[in-house]
Structure 1
Amino acid sequence: MTQKLIPLQRRNINASQLVLGCMRLGGDWNANSPITAEHYREGNEALDAALEIGINMFDHADIYTSGKAERVFSQLLKERPSLREEIIIQSKCGIRFGDESNPHRFDFSSDYILDSVDGILERLGTEYLDILLLHRPDPLVEPEDVASAIHALKASGKVRHFGVSNMSHGQIRLLQAYSDEPFIVNQLEMSLHKIGFCDTAVSVNQEAWRNNVFPEGTMEHSRLENIQLQSWGPLAQGRYSGGSLEGQSESVVQTAALVAQLAEKHNTTRESIVLAWLMTHPSGIQPVIGTINPQRIRACKDAATLRLSREDWYRLYVASRGVNLP
């Protein structure tokens, strides 16, 4: 399989195929916990490792460590003033945590989106976001309201591009029908452990399809509309790259063994094999690496150039399924 441009690159956005997820910057999720020198040190080491392996795109959300992740990243940018124009920063909004008066909820109202972006920009210390994602579907969404917020953010220069996270193609189409700005990203949980995105394709007209929660047609819609698919949790919490296998299913154990064999075959790391499995998919998936451990980040280096054969790709897929293909 030949290496192709990913959808963002086809839109002339010079994004690396690997993305560093910044969810763990800033320590715990207690908003009252201070940001420490250790948090800044961790951030700098993670940033150095990411840049070293060619990553130039960084994924945030306004809720990550209750806003502290963006503040840590802001300090990293202040220490490297020329870096902002060389990287792509993506953040998300739309999730509201519960408190004494209100429940945990999602909010795509225009006012909340606009206020959220102002908060994101203040915490990041930047004048614009390259990409804003709507974090999780809001059942009470009014697409006209979202379109109004997007128009205002684009006109003001605060956000250059827009996308979504955890949405089906039907939800994207509804939003797109009211907005002149294209939704160019959809971030979903996909990994060698979360294989629903493949099972929707091979299980059509099969009984097993009925138990698959991955939205049918979303992969195909993304390819037709040049929407960048991003995967969160792409390393599968380390199941196949050195994590403990105690209590894991037989399919996980066998898949981990196969990953190790392929890593030896390709003279690379297990992390690179796990990510390459995703990146070999013809939709051009962007894995969002969730670790800030610099050693694990560097271990992902070869994934950017490694593409698995069709046979090895299917070996891993079938091993993870734990059952043969139909």
Structure 2
Amino acid sequence: MKQIVIGSEKKQESAVIQGCMRIAGLSEEAVDRLIKTDLEQGITFFDHADVYTDGACETLFGKVLAREPGLRDQITLQTKCGIVRGKGEHNKAFDFSKRHILETVNASLKRLQTDHLDYLLLHRPDALVEPEEVAEAFEQLYAQGKVRHFGVSNQNPYQIELLKKYVRQPLEINQLQLSIKFTGMIDAGLNVNMTVEGASDRDGSILDYCRLNGITIQAWSPFQYGFFDGVFLDNPKFPELNKKIDEIAAKYGVSNNAIAVAWILRHPANMQVILGTTNVTRVAESARGADLVLTRQEWYDIYQAAGNKLP
């Protein structure tokens, strides 16, 4: 498995991450098998969030860690906080207050049955954020040894800069949606000084900002198009794209999942890819993409087959 370097400490981590958002419906045995498959493929990084099935995913994962002595030392464990969900369609909020961060981290540690998190990310931007409170929460969690590294998710450059003004610990990760069919952060950089579709910079050049500041992008929903609209692989809505992906997959003797992963990792921004699947066969197939380096022309051929035009 390809390794990437994260943060100022130059931590070596797997280029592919196992996302745990969908594990709540699995048995303990199935989760154990999923973790073991990940480790066999070289995937050692596991991503959670306190809101995934209201904490059930963390609870289930923690039960497996508790019954497998030594397993915790083999993995990198990450969770996210900041989203508050209540009952009702509109009963949702974001909360980066010191109290909320500390309470949710302590709850996550209890559910995961571990004494520390390797990474904690702030899940989605809080319009009412008081960065001084975030700094106080991070400082306390770090001093207590409960969180070793920090980052954000779905944030733009100025939101990160605001936090950095007060937070002492480096913000090492930004989790952002990216796939062959969700390429806004790439499109804007290719269409500078153009008036065509794709020229709008909605994210403040977040891709270049992360590269300049040594922040690792974790790409979520690598097989999705739109905002959870569905999977583009083998989807008849995208015949030209799937024809090109299948053609390249046949050349390298891998699955189309592997090509979708390889396309993201071909970008020189030192990214990681988060797999959402819990199917062990698909995990193994996708993991092969981490060690496959597409040619420059193949990368651009796939990009254009997805419906993107180059200026």
Structure 2, unpaired ranges of 5+? 225-229
Q: Does 1:285 align with 2:271?
A: yes
Describe the shift of the 1:50–1:214 C-alpha distance in structure 2 as closer, same or farther (beyond 3 A). farther
Deviations 1:126-168 (A, max 9, x none): 0000000000000000111111100011001000000000000
Residue matched to 2:293: 307
Deviations 1:255-292 (A, max 9, x none): 11111000000111111101000000000110000011
Residue matched to 1:17: 15
Q: SS state of the match for residue 208, structure 1?
A: coil
Partners in 2 of 1:219 and 1:211 — Cα distance?
A: 14
Q: SS state of the match for residue 6, structure 1?
A: strand
Considering only aligned residues, what root-mean-square deviation do their CA atoms show, in Å? 2.0
Query: Which consecutive segments of 4 or more residues in structure 1 shift more than 6 A?
Result: none
Partners in 2 of 1:70 and 1:208 — Cα distance?
A: 44
Residue matched to 1:273: 259
Partners in 2 of 1:159 and 1:152 — Cα distance?
A: 9
Alignment of 1:151-162 (within 5 A): 151-162=139-150
Question: Aligned match of 1:104 in 92, 109, 114?
Answer: 92
Describe the shift of the 1:106–1:213 C-alpha distance in structure 2 as closer, same or farther (beyond 3 A). farther
- TM-score with structure 1 length normalisation? 0.89
Partners in 2 of 1:46 and 1:5 — Cα distance?
A: 20
Partners in 1 of 2:95 and 2:8 — Cα distance?
A: 31
Identity %: 38
Q: Does 1:170 align with 2:158?
A: yes
Partners in 2 of 1:232 and 1:289 — Cα distance?
A: 7
AA paired with 1:325? L
- Cα deviation for residue 211 of structure 1 reads 6.8
AA paired with 1:16? S
- Cα deviation for residue 45 of structure 1 reads 2.3
Deviations 1:223-254 (A, max 9, x none): 111101001101225422x4x42xx2xxx221
Q: SS state of the match for residue 99, structure 1?
A: coil
Of 102-111 and 277-286, the range deviating more from structure 2: 102-111
Higher strand share: 2
Q: Does 1:239 align with 2:213?
A: no
Deviations 1:83-114 (A, max 9, x none): 111210000000000337x8310000000000
Q: SS state of the match for residue 178, structure 1?
A: coil
Residue matched to 1:203: 191
Partners in 1 of 2:166 and 2:179 — Cα distance?
A: 32
Q: SS state of the match for residue 244, structure 2?
A: helix
Residue matched to 1:26: 24
Residue matched to 1:70: 58
Q: Does 1:123 align with 2:111?
A: yes
8 Å CA contact 1:6, 1:283 repeated in 2 = no
Partners in 1 of 2:3 and 2:71 — Cα distance?
A: 24
Residue matched to 1:88: 76
Q: SS state of the match for residue 203, structure 2?
A: coil
- Cα deviation for residue 10 of structure 1 reads 6.5
Partners in 2 of 1:324 and 1:12 — Cα distance?
A: 37
Describe the shift of the 1:304–1:201 C-alpha distance in structure 2 as closer, same or farther (beyond 3 A). same
8 Å CA contact 2:193, 2:199 repeated in 1 = no
Partners in 2 of 1:297 and 1:214 — Cα distance?
A: 32
Partners in 2 of 1:94 and 1:131 — Cα distance?
A: 14
Question: Aligned match of 2:6 in 8, 16, 21?
Answer: 8
